[in-house]
Chains A and B, each alone.
Chain A
Amino acid sequence: MSAGECGAMSTGSFGNAKAGKVPDLSWFRRRQLRALAVVAAVVLVAEGASLVGDFSFGYALGSVPAALAWMLQNFCPTPSSLGQLGIIATQVVSTVFDSIAATMLAALLGIVLAVLGCSSVGVENGIVRGVIRIFANIFRNVPMIAWALLLLLSFKQNEFTGFLALFLATFGQITRFFLDTLDEIPCGPIEALRSCGASFWQIVFQAGLPLAVAELMSWTLYMVETNIREATLVGLLTGTGIGFAFNLYYASFRYDCAGLVILVTIVLVLVVEAISNAARRSMI
């Protein structure tokens, strides 16, 4: 008598019970019809909405080529705009370093809070954990633009306002990312270190962080990338960095220079992404 035989017997009786019935295949047909109905409904809703909103899809589509041509014509950097490259480059560098500094500071503080507040290696005090979670959630749910507008009133237009806005929004978000990452590390190695007599900080540094380091770095790099993009937007408001440069050229009808700013930003974001992807790969 073996487990295998037992299993075979039970499967056999299962098969017999079903043998008399013809399987119902109409399910497949009904599924296809339902998918078709959903597509039809979406098209109908879109048509209806454009009728109500006086939006003509055909007209919009027709105006795309002309708009594209205008954009290419006006935003294409001209030789004269290249003279501004020095100024633009300075602003770009300041924006990049501002975002990196803000992200790193947020990451440093975030990891401390996440270590204390996570469920795997964190402190056993439930109140501390709850407070950290609530804190991170509140900070995270205030959008960066809101921070910038808020800080603008008290800190005026300067580099520090932009830095602070980036920092505060990143802080909440990255703490949350770190908490989730640390919550999910396997509990086995931590139990093993506890059984060896390891203390709280020993477990954090010898098991918690090594198990999570790749993901923690990955989130940090992601936030650096995001913040470089966000920093251009924040700069529009705080009057600093590349956002300010764009706004200045845009407002003074130097569209060719504004286009150059966009081009430089795109190149920059791509370069940063390539660097951080390489860093990620080397860390697996």
Chain B
Amino acid sequence: MPQNAQPLLQVSDLTKSYEGKRGAREQHHALSGVDFACGEGELVAVIGPSGAGKSTFLRCINRLIEPTEGSVVFNGRDITHLRRNKLRGVRAQIAMIFQNYNLVYRLTAIQNVLHGRLGYKGAVAGSLGLYSEAEKLRAFELLDEVGLGEFAYRRADQLSGGQKQRVGIARALIQDPRIILCDEPIASLDPKSSRAVMEHLRRVTRQHGITCIVNLHQVDMALEFSDRIVGLRAGAKVFEGAPAELTPQMIAVIYGDGEEGFISVPVSGPQAGATPASVGMASAVPSGALR
């Protein structure tokens, strides 16, 4: 990323905390003081165990979740406190794709793609689904681009997982976004479809100069496809650097109480902390400093 120029996205001291349960005084920090910046055409992978705050991080950027503290500056403009139509205008430029595709499954593929234009449309035209000829042609073009041209009039619930995610990508692209936020885009896909989706995302960044911020569970995919990797743990950024800098030790730090070699399958369950192996691990990792 060119450090001298104004970054496309600048996130400073981003914090999201939730009030504790009634009675309990302490707050739960989903994110605490995350600083992050990225430029045009970058593919940034965000890795970390479940519950590390990856999803919250992405959703604070397009304000699906309201950050408690900190600021988000997009394209030179502070968007942290935008309301209503101004927020809609910014969201139109920041697309998002999801683990569960989040298509309106009763509608056709082409209708789902055209949903990406809603941020640019008036209330009546958007509600009634009245799109311009140019928008319809562009939607077809994008479906062709992701290899689904012949499925345009197929209902979304009749598509396979990989196809659904590609409709999701087309829906993101028709927004003409500057950034695409990808929340675990391949977590529900088989290896082959996963690879296809990651390749699409990489092509998007290379050919269209669109920035992709991708939450991933698969460290190997992050290493292979990303330009930069950010490691989150317990809501804090514990690593940022090129894929080459992500050492096994660093992975162990990010995934905390896991075991050596336990990269792509983060350990969970209450008994994990009690096994001798992870006790040894915990002493090797300065975990106290991370929390």
The interface bits of chain A over 185-227 (1 if a CB of B lies within 8 angstroms of the residue's CB, else 0) are 0001101111111110110111100110110000000000000
Q: Flag the segment in B102-110, B209-217, B238-246 that touches A.
A: B102-110
**9 A-B pairs closest in CB distance:** A197-B119, A197-B91, A192-B102, A188-B102, A198-B118, A197-B92, A205-B127, A202-B126, A195-B96
Q: Which of B94, B118, B181 contacts A206 (CB 8 A)?
A: B118
| Residues 117-157 of A contacting B (Cβ, < 8 Å) | none
Closest beta carbon of chain B to A161's beta carbon, Å: 37
Closest beta carbon of chain B to A74's beta carbon, Å: 52
| Interchain CA distance A207-B118 in the complex, whole Å | 12
Q: Is the CB of A206 within 8 A of B95?
A: no
Please give, as numbers and ranges, the residues of chain B lying within 8 Å of A198 by CB-CB distance: 88, 115, 118-119, 126
Q: Is the CB of A192 within 8 A of B115?
A: yes
Report, as a range, how many residues of chain A touch the other chain: 20 to 34
| Interchain CA distance A192-B101 in the complex, whole Å | 9
Please give, as numbers and ranges, the residues of chain A lying within 8 Å of B259 by CB-CB distance: 1
Please give, as numbers and ranges, the residues of chain A lying within 8 Å of B265 by CB-CB distance: 2-3
Please give, as numbers and ranges, the residues of chain A lying within 8 Å of B95 by CB-CB distance: 195-196
Q: Is the CB of A1 within 8 A of B123?
A: no
Closest beta carbon of chain B to A1's beta carbon, Å: 6
Q: Is the CB of A211 within 8 A of B119?
A: no
| Interchain CA distance A191-B127 in the complex, whole Å | 16
| Interchain CA distance A204-B128 in the complex, whole Å | 10
Chain A's closest residue to B103 (CB) is A189
**B288 within 8 A of partner (CB):** no
Q: Is the CB of B106 within 8 A of A197?
A: no
| Interchain CA distance A202-B100 in the complex, whole Å | 21
- Residues on A lying within 8 angstroms of B by beta carbon are 1-3, 10, 188-189, 191-199, 201-202, 204-207, 210-211, 213-214
Q: How many A-B residue pairs have CB under 8 A?
A: 98
Given contacts A1-B261, A197-B89, A210-B107, contact A192 B96 (CB under 8 A): yes
| Interchain CA distance A206-B115 in the complex, whole Å | 8
Q: Is the CB of A197 within 8 A of B98?
A: no
| Residues 145-201 of B contacting A (Cβ, < 8 Å) | 168, 171, 175, 181
Please give, as numbers and ranges, the residues of chain B lying within 8 Å of A196 by CB-CB distance: 91-92, 95-96, 115-119, 171, 175
Given contacts A3-B265, A202-B123, A206-B126, contact A197 B118 (CB under 8 A): yes
Given contacts A191-B64, A195-B64, A213-B106, contact A206 B91 (CB under 8 A): no
Given contacts A1-B259, A199-B88, contact A192 B123 (CB under 8 A): no
Chain A's closest residue to B261 (CB) is A1
A-B contact pairs, 11 of them (CB 8 A): A191-B64, A195-B96, A196-B115, A196-B119, A197-B87, A201-B126, A202-B118, A202-B123, A205-B128, A206-B129, A211-B106
Please give, as numbers and ranges, the residues of chain A lying within 8 Å of B247 by CB-CB distance: none
Q: Is the CB of A211 within 8 A of B104?
A: yes
Please give, as numbers and ranges, the residues of chain B lying within 8 Å of A201 by CB-CB distance: 123, 126-127
Chain B's closest residue to A213 (CB) is B106
**B271 within 8 A of partner (CB):** yes
Please give, as numbers and ranges, the residues of chain A lying within 8 Å of B103 by CB-CB distance: 189, 192
Q: Is the CB of A191 within 8 A of B102?
A: yes
**B121 within 8 A of partner (CB):** yes
| Interchain CA distance A213-B115 in the complex, whole Å | 18
Please give, as numbers and ranges, the residues of chain B lying within 8 Å of A10 by CB-CB distance: 271
Q: Is the CB of A210 within 8 A of B175?
A: no
**B62 within 8 A of partner (CB):** yes
| Interchain CA distance A2-B264 in the complex, whole Å | 11
Q: Is the CB of A194 within 8 A of B64?
A: yes
Please give, as numbers and ranges, the residues of chain A lying within 8 Å of B171 by CB-CB distance: 192, 196
The interface bits of chain B over 72-112 (1 if a CB of A lies within 8 angstroms of the residue's CB, else 0) are 00000000000000011111101110101111111100000
Please give, as numbers and ranges, the residues of chain B lying within 8 Å of A193 by CB-CB distance: 104, 115, 118
Q: Is the CB of B126 within 8 A of A189?
A: no
Please give, as numbers and ranges, the residues of chain A lying within 8 Å of B96 by CB-CB distance: 192, 195-196
Please give, as numbers and ranges, the residues of chain B lying within 8 Å of A1 by CB-CB distance: 259, 261-262, 277
Closest beta carbon of chain A to B67's beta carbon, Å: 16
| Interchain CA distance A198-B120 in the complex, whole Å | 8
Closest beta carbon of chain B to A61's beta carbon, Å: 52
Chain A's closest residue to B128 (CB) is A205
| Interchain CA distance A197-B168 in the complex, whole Å | 15
Please give, as numbers and ranges, the residues of chain B lying within 8 Å of A191 by CB-CB distance: 64, 98, 102
19 A-B pairs besides A196-B116, A199-B126, A204-B127 with CB distance below 8 A are A189-B102, A191-B64, A191-B102, A192-B102, A192-B103, A192-B171, A193-B104, A193-B115, A194-B64, A195-B62, A195-B64, A195-B96, A196-B117, A196-B171, A198-B88, A198-B118, A202-B118, A205-B127, A206-B129
Please give, as numbers and ranges, the residues of chain B lying within 8 Å of A195 by CB-CB distance: 62, 64, 91, 94-96, 181
Chain A's closest residue to B62 (CB) is A195
| Interchain CA distance A136-B271 in the complex, whole Å | 49
Please give, as numbers and ranges, the residues of chain B lying within 8 Å of A202 by CB-CB distance: 118, 121, 123, 126-127
Closest beta carbon of chain B to A87's beta carbon, Å: 46
Please give, as numbers and ranges, the residues of chain B lying within 8 Å of A211 by CB-CB distance: 104-106
Closest beta carbon of chain A to B69's beta carbon, Å: 22
